[in-house]
């Protein structure tokens, strides 16, 4: 998707510190994403491909067998296939099955079901 210009810095590998006694070596290229650049680029690609935006806040997610519904603060419901939340380690849009350790980061986004699809 030609996103290399959205990386601030790259490394040939990295070490992840799991806890005080454990590390994990990542023997592959890693990078730090410039979030503003990535958002700007993705927005431009969406606009160029005719994506229409709905200006609202999601207040609830209802999961069903083959789809999920996003309930917006303006009363609109949007049907999607996948929901991802990146609001931090305790997001408002999901609940934990068991206790968790704070500090986890999550991805964000959703995969809408489209009537007409075009590749970006």
pLDDT at 104: 45
Tens-digit pLDDT profile for residues 69-79: 999 999 999 99
pLDDT, residue 23, reads 92
Each domain of the chain, given as residue ranges in start order, spans 1-52, 54-115
Percent of the chain with pLDDT over 70: 68
* CA neighbor of 63 nearest in space, from 74, 52, 79: 79
**Encoded tokens for 91:** 């997001």
pLDDT digits (tens, 9 = 90+) for 16-56: 888 889 999 989 888 888 888 988 998 899 899 998 888 99
CA dist 46 and 42 (Å) reads 6
Number of H helices, E strands in the chain: 1, 8
């Amino acid at each position: 998707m030609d996103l290399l210009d959205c990386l601030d810095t790259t490394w040939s590998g990295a070490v992840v510190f799991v806890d005080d006694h454990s590390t994990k070596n990542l023997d592959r290229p890693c990078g730090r994403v410039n979030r503003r650049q990535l958002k700007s680029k993705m927005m431009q690609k969406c606009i160029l491909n005719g994506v229409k935006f709905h200006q609202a806040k999601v207040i609830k997610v209802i999961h069903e067998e083959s789809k999920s519904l996003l309930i917006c603060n303006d009363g609109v419901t949007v049907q999607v296939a996948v929901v991802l939340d990146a609001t931090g380690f305790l997001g408002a849009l999901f609940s934990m099955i068991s206790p968790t350790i704070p500090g986890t980061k999550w991805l964000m986004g959703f995969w809408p079901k489209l009537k007409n699809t075009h590749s970006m």
